[in-house]
């Protein structure tokens, strides 16, 4: 059986102050005003009308937005997607996701392009940090001159005013339906979080399908990237908030657990290149695992049918990744085997980064709809109270192209919002 055909579901696979001496050269966190400016720029680059965003904004905000937009237009961003321009390298690395295409060459080319763009951005940031350090030293010297009574007159009397203005935050207002319909992707997700908070709702408790319906009800076109992300991200209003919480969650991963999972991944990828692919009776590693840098693929019993135009699948995630040990995952596969499940199963390769950022941490591709439902039932009982999210979906081939369940749901959202019934 050809693994490349079997792995088609893989596409499942974002106040400057005079520093104290000890802080010279340390990059200060973005102010609330700067974060808001970056958010507005992201929304404009994502297709929202600049005029609608500018309504009611202070002139200082408008000027900051115009300057950054002009800068992003003039500079060569090295292939960074327009909606991600203006982000720092750490945030960009997190928010810029590359799907696992059936064409592995395309996937690798896009990942190489991303790596080069981020490397160039980090180099530019390093240069800017040196300039900031020099500026900080100059400010320190100026402060000493004032203390000694030999202060020079300010060359730019408006500088203090500009710094003060940059720290201001615009009042958050609800967008009209027309303004919401212009948003998409992450911008739509952030706005949906704001709406949910205003209504006293916690989107992290919604199923994937309920999240889709809520987005349609509020005319906000989230896409498949938001649907793949862990539920807690649904309540974040900016990429900075996501990155901050993501760091907190990574810290919660036990180092020994992370090390054990990394060792398991290494051994499974090595096994994928051997002649004997079985790790237990009727459980074998798929050969394509050795070429993947995102997922570990396994076949249980008879596996999935080759060349099918639709693949039923079920997803699960756990509340505490420290409890998703290699031994427990292997035990899950044995339980599926003993229950008579026929199909494939995949799990992420990196616990502390990839695992933290997925809604569907374990994906089970059933040979039939009944197999997918059986797998979900087994997983529910197996994980018990440790189970977090669960879902059942179906990948389809439309006009010769593979579409993941998340992509199908994203299209459902877009079509519903753009329907003539919703003028």
Residue 295 and residue 347 in contact, taking contact as beta carbons nearer than 8 Å:
yes
Kindly calculate the radius of gyration of the chain based on its CA atoms and give it in whole angstroms.
25
Share of the chain above pLDDT 90, in %: 41
pLDDT(300) > 80: yes
pLDDT higher for 126 or 216?
A: 216
Listed residue (197, 198, 225, 226) closest to 211, CA to CA: 226
pLDDT confidence of residue 331: 97
What are the distances in angstroms from CA 216 to CA 95, 163, 417, 421? 23, 40, 6, 12
Query: How is residue 112 written in tokens?
Result: 């190489």
Going by pLDDT thresholds of 50, 70 and 90, the confidence category of residue 11 is very low
> What would the pLDDT profile of 96-155 be if each residue is shown by its tens digit?
777 665 566 777 777 778 877 877 787 777 777 766 766 776 676 666 666 655 555 444
Burial class (CB in 10 A: 0-12, 13-18, 19+), 219: buried
Closest-CA residue to 261 (of 169, 164, 328, 187): 328
Of 44-53, 160-169, 262-271, least confident by mean pLDDT is 160-169
Is pLDDT of 4 > 50? no
* Whether the predicted model's global pTM rises above the 0.85 cut: no
Q: 56-60, 84-88, 123-127, 345-349 — which one is most confidently predicted on average?
A: 345-349
**What is the rounded CA–CA span in Å between residue 42 and residue 187?**
7
Q: Check if the beta carbon of residue 313 is closer than 8 Å to that of residue 392.
A: yes
> What per-residue confidence (pLDDT) applies to 48?
67
Question: Exposed, middle or buried by CB within 10 Å (0-12, 13-18, 19+), for 140?
Answer: middle
Burial class (CB in 10 A: 0-12, 13-18, 19+), 78: middle
- Sign, CA dihedral 34-242-129-68, equals negative
How high is the pLDDT of residue 153? 46
Model pLDDT, residue 26: 40
Categorize the per-residue pLDDT at 168 as very low, low, confident or very high, splitting at 50, 70 and 90: very low
Among 8-12, 347-351, 377-381, where is mean pLDDT lowest? Answer: 8-12
Residue 33's pLDDT band (boundaries 50, 70, 90)? Answer: low
Regarding predicted confidence, which is higher, 142 or 16? Answer: 142
Nearest in space to 95 (alpha carbons), one of 186, 193, 203, 211? 186
Domain-wise residue ranges, the chain: 1-173, 174-251, 253-404
DSSP state of 399: T
The Cα 189–Cα 92 span in angstroms is: 17
**29-38, 194-203, 228-237: least confident range:** 29-38
186, burial (CB in 10 Å: exposed 0-12, middle 13-18, buried 19+): buried
Separation CA 357–CA 228 (nearest Å):
8
């Amino acid at each position: 059986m050809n693994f490349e055909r079997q792995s088609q579901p893989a596409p499942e696979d974002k106040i400057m102050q005079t520093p104290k001496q000890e802080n010279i050269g340390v990059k200060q966190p973005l102010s609330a005003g700067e974060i808001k400016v970056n958010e507005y720029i992201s929304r404009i680059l994502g297709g929202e009308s600049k005029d609608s965003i500018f309504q009611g904004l202070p002139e200082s905000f408008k000027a900051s937005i115009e300057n950054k937009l002009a800068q992003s237009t003039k500079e060569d961003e090295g292939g960074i997607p327009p909606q991600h321009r203006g982000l720092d390298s750490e945030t960009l690395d997190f928010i810029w996701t590359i799907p696992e295409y059936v064409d592995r060459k395309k996937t690798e080319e896009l990942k190489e392009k991303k790596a080069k763009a981020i490397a160039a951005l980090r180099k530019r940031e390093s240069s800017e940090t040196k300039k900031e350090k020099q500026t900080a030293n100059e400010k320190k010297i100026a402060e000493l001159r004032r203390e000694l009574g030999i202060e020079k007159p300010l060359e730019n009397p408006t500088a203090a005013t500009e710094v003060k203005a940059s720290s201001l935050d615009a009042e958050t207002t609800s967008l009209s339906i027309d303004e919401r319909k212009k948003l998409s992707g992450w911008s739509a997700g952030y706005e949906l979080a704001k709406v949910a908070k205003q209504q006293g709702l916690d989107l992290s408790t919604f199923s994937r399908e309920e999240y889709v319906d809520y987005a349609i009800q509020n005319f906000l076109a989230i896409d498949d990237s938001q649907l793949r992300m862990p539920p807690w991200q649904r309540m974040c209003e900016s990429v900075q908030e996501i990155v901050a919480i993501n760091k907190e969650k990574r810290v919660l991963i036990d180092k020994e657990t992370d090390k054990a999972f990394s060792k398991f991944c290494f051994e499974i990828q090595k096994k994928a290149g051997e002649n004997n692919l079985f790790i237990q009776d009727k459980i074998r590693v798929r050969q394509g695992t050795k070429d993947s840098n995102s997922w570990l693929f396994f076949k249980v019993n008879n596996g999935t049918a080759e060349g099918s135009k639709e693949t039923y699948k079920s997803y699960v995630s756990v509340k505490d990744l420290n409890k998703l040990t290699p031994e427990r995952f292997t035990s899950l596969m044995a339980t599926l085997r003993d229950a008579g499940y026929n199909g494939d199963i995949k799990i992420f390769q990196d616990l502390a980064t990839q695992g933290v950022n997925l809604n569907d941490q374990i994906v089970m591709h059933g040979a039939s709809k009944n197999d997918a439902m059986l797998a979900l039932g087994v997983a529910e009982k197996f994980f018990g109270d440790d189970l977090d999210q669960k879902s059942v979906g179906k990948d389809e081939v439309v006009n010769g192209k593979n579409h993941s369940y998340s992509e199908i749901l994203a299209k459902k959202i877009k079509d519903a919002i753009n329907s003539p019934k919703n003028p």
